[in-house]
Amino acid sequence: MVDFKRILAPVDMSDFSLQALKYAVEVAQKYGAELTVFSVVNGSFYTNTFMNVLDLDNIVASVHKQVEENLKEVVKTYENSGVKMGVVVEEGNPYLAICEYAEKHNTDLIVMASHGYSGLDSILIGSVTEKVVRKASCPVLTLKFK
């Protein structure tokens, strides 16, 4: 029998990922599961050839803090859902961070959008979703929105 107790919802703040989060909350309600809202700051997006390591560290730390604050605001909108929710922001390669976190924390289900931002980001996020589906140690529910 399927019994989800720990659900992971990767969010990149795109409309699609926020819609997927809504589904994740509903699944968590149905199963009485804990839900972790998860995001990854990828420092390689902020590098350029003229930047030194200290600049990059400061930028990544600033982005990390802002992402965490944004996710906490999103979680507040679900405070009356009855679902125990937490926020985690990690740094690194998005698909690896998602898969490693899921395995380390015995996640029962990952719920994520099939794509994130439109344009080039859509291709990047879509490839993240595909890699998570292939590499995750637990089931992955991917949701496609129009």
Give the three-state DSSP class for 82. Answer: coil
* All structural domains of the chain with their residue ranges: 39-92, 93-146
pTM of the model: 0.86
- Kindly report the number of other CB atoms within 10 A of residue 37's CB atom: 23
The token pair that represents 37 in the structure block: 């809202």
Cα 114–chain centre separation: 12
- Listed residue (119, 144, 118) closest to 130, CA to CA: 144
pLDDT tens digits, 53-82: 556 577 778 888 999 999 999 999 999 999
Domain boundaries 93-146, CATH class: alpha beta
Give the integer Cα–Cα distance in Å for 132 and 135. 5
Predicted confidence (pLDDT) per residue in 93-132, tens digit:
999 999 999 999 999 999 999 875 544 444 444 588 899 9
